[in-house]
């Protein structure tokens, strides 16, 4: 039997493409998604994506979602406790792997590996070491559809918030900005691609600045008939 695995699902393109890569490789049995949401806001942590949009992604992927709730302004100890509880529950269900969409940040990978030590669950990084320009082009060519929902204006102009992640956007990125946003320049919400049974139809909402970041809301997600 193949090892049972969860995907650490951020709602963004890297986690979505990591799911796609894991399914294509066929070495694990992906049985669910795991997403961190902020209590009181009903939104995915950091990305700011509405829970209702996450739920529609989950339906399109065709897998259950394990929702991990953390408090606003969550400190490391609170986050680690919540994730530790989630990993213990997953292990009790026979899950022994968790898939991450990390690309090249060695400190983030080391942190994940350290936090999982002794849990009985091993991390997998199917996209690790990919050339990010080539990976971005591969995502677009594969039909991945996404919107920039969070932009760090210190690294990327705020005007990029709400834009579609496509070849034109990649060409417009300023020099020094990673094409996959791996340095935190931007985060995305995926609405279509080879990991979905069908695309989501979304409407662009308000663009707001909060806590030093610029967020573009995504609303009205519906699966086409």
Domains of the chain: 4-124 (3.40.50.620), 132-222 (no CATH)
The residues, ordered by sequence, that sit 6+ positions from 211 with a Cβ below 8 Å of its Cβ are none
- For 39-48, write each residue's pLDDT tens digit: 989 999 989 9
Q: Which two three-digit tokens encode residue 197?
A: 């049974």
Q: Encode the chain (225 residues) as per-residue pLDDT tens digits.
A: 999 999 999 999 999 999 999 999 999 999 999 999 999 899 999 899 999 999 999 999 999 999 999 999 889 999 999 999 999 999 999 999 999 999 999 999 999 999 999 999 999 999 999 999 999 999 999 999 999 999 999 999 999 999 999 999 999 999 999 999 999 999 999 999 999 999 998 888 899 999 899 999 998 644 443
Q: Which two three-digit tokens encode residue 125?
A: 């990084």
The Cα–Cα gap between 178 and 32 comes to: 29
Q: Are 175 and 124 in contact (CB under 8 A)?
A: no
Provide the pLDDT for residue 73: 86
Region of residue 184 (phi > 0: left; psi between -120 and 50: alpha; otherwise: beta): left
Q: Provide the H-helix boundaries in 3-156.
A: 13-25, 51-61, 76-92, 106-116, 132-141
């Amino acid at each position: 039997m193949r090892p049972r695995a969860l995907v650490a699902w951020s709602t963004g393109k890297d986690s979505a493409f990591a799911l796609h890569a894991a399914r294509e490789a066929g070495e694990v049995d992906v049985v669910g998604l795991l997403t961190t949401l902020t209590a009181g806001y009903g939104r995915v942590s950091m990305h700011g994506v509405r829970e209702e949009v996450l739920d529609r992604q989950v339906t399109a992927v065709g897998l259950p979602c394990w929702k991990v709730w953390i408090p606003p302004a969550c400190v490391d100890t609170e986050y680690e406790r919540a994730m530790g509880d989630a990993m213990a529950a997953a292990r009790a269900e026979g899950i022994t792997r968790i898939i991450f969409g990390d690309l090249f940040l060695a400190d983030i990978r080391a942190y994940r590996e350290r936090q999982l030590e002794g849990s009985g669950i091993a991390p997998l990084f199917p996209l690790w070491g990919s050339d990010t320009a080539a990976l971005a082009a591969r995502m677009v060519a594969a039909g991945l559809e996404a919107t920039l929902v969070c932009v760090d204006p210190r690294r990327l102009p705020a005007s990029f918030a709400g834009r579609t992640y496509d070849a034109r956007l990649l060409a417009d990125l300023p020099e020094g900005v990673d094409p996959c946003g791996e340095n935190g320049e931007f985060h995305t919400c995926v609405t279509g691609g080879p990991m979905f049974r069908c695309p989501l139809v979304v409407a662009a909402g308000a663009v707001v600045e909060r806590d030093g970041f610029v967020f573009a809301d995504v609303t009205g997600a519906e699966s086409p008939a």
